[in-house]
Homo-oligomer: A and B are copies of this chain.
Amino acid sequence: MRIAMVGLGRMGANMVRRLIRDGHECVVHDISQDAVRRMEGEGAQGAGSLQDLVAALEPPRSVWLMLPAAITGDTVTELLGLLEGGDAIIDGGNSSYRDDIDRAEVAAVHDVDYVDCGTSGGVWGLERGYSLMIGGPDRAVQRLDPVFASLAPGLGAAERTPGRTGPVSRAEQGYLHCGPSGAGHFVKMVHNGIEYAIMAAYAEGLNVIRGAGVGKHQSDADAETAPLREPRYYPYDSVDLADVAEVWRRGSVIGSWLLDLTAEALVADPQLEQFTGRVSDSGEGRWTSIAAIEEGVPAPLLTAALYSRFASRGSELFANKVESAQRKEFGGHDEKPAAS
């Protein structure tokens, strides 16, 4: 079918490519004329403005947004002035599901269907397909089914789950209508919360293995630091972490795609020296923990993963200084300098 894509960054451009491959007609727009021209060269129809883009579609129109969260709102507002009843806007970016709920209400006033679509797959999506978590009105979601089906990985991307029989469901093809407006981004948000935690789980575990030679190197034993009681149990100072990640990839309980990537990174740079360890977070992890809190549902790991990202960027520093100050007050303890 014919569909417009606004935003031709890494994700948007690859999605257009995947749609074109599958026979869809794509009208594309981006603030970068170069990006538009590049996609024209790959078979898309370029549009110089949102107005042109809308004009290049037939009702009921479908305009897919693949934009930074900070820009999506204004673009939706502008589009609502250009679209007409029965048209649909699909937000495939990383918006907060709360914005979806708010925007869907406004769009409904214009009889425009607002569809939110959480999209996972990253730079690998062109090849592997995208996992799509969809929220919004049935009317648009059903109409867009061929688009979702083309973007999603399809049944063959994994073995069929035992117990799943009969006709293949959409979930089994890699896309799911999760519920009303915002439900798609809500499920995607939690997906990312889980992702943060799984990443941190491997990271912590590898760090524990990396520290397992402490018994061989411990030296300080002053009034401030208790000696390791049994250093003989920490003699492992030369375990090869890249090999450990590799061996876990086959036959172990913790095999995963994130582990595959971890193994790849450790082969390329065993000490990860190219990284400084400042880990960004893009919003979904925060929102997941906030949802847990507002629901009254405990999520200790998801939140711990988030907090560890915060701390990786230095924001725990003042708290640490408070503790140093307290120690000095009650025990006269001076801070120890960093090991040289």
Contacts and interface: CB of A to CB of B under 8 A. Distances in A.
A128 to B, nearest CB: 5
A222 B283 CA distance: 11
Contact of A299 (B180, B208, B314): B208
Contacts of A122: 253, 330-332
Interface stretch (A36-44, A53-61, A158-166): A158-166
Given A130-B251, A183-B239, A325-B272, A297 B208 contact: yes
A3 interface: no
B250 A152 contact: yes
B322 A203 contact: yes
Given A263-B161, A328-B265, A243 B176 contact: yes
A262 B327 CA distance: 9
A199 B326 contact: yes
A306 interface: yes
A101 interface: yes
Q: Which secondary structure dominates chain A's binding surface?
A: helix
A201 interface: yes
A82 interface: no
A251 B296 contact: no
Interface in A197-222: 197-212, 214, 221-222
B280 A298 contact: no
A151 to B, nearest CB: 9
A201 B203 contact: no
* Range of interface residues on A (Cβ < 8 Å): 35 or more
Given A186-B209, A209-B186, A316-B312, A131 B247 contact: yes
A202 B255 CA distance: 14
Interface stretch (A23-31, A138-146, A223-231): A223-231
A246 B331 CA distance: 21
A48 interface: no
A242 to B, nearest CB: 8
**Residue of A175, A191, A223 with most partner-chain B CB within 10 A:** A223
Contacts of A330: 122-124, 253, 257-258, 261
A248 B191 contact: yes
B299 A169 contact: no
A87 interface: no
A21 interface: no
Contacts of A108: none
Nearest to A95: B226
Interface string A90-108: 0000101111010000000
Q: Considering the complex of A and B, which 9 residue pairs feature the smallest CB-CB distances, nearest first?
A: A226-B283, A256-B256, A277-B320, A131-B252, A197-B201, A174-B250, A298-B307, A70-B221, A261-B329
13 contacts: A124-B330, A131-B251, A178-B244, A193-B205, A194-B205, A197-B200, A204-B319, A207-B299, A262-B325, A265-B325, A279-B323, A279-B324, A290-B290
Given A191-B205, A204-B298, 11 more contacts: A68-B221, A132-B247, A157-B249, A161-B260, A191-B254, A199-B323, A269-B325, A275-B320, A275-B335, A301-B301, A301-B304
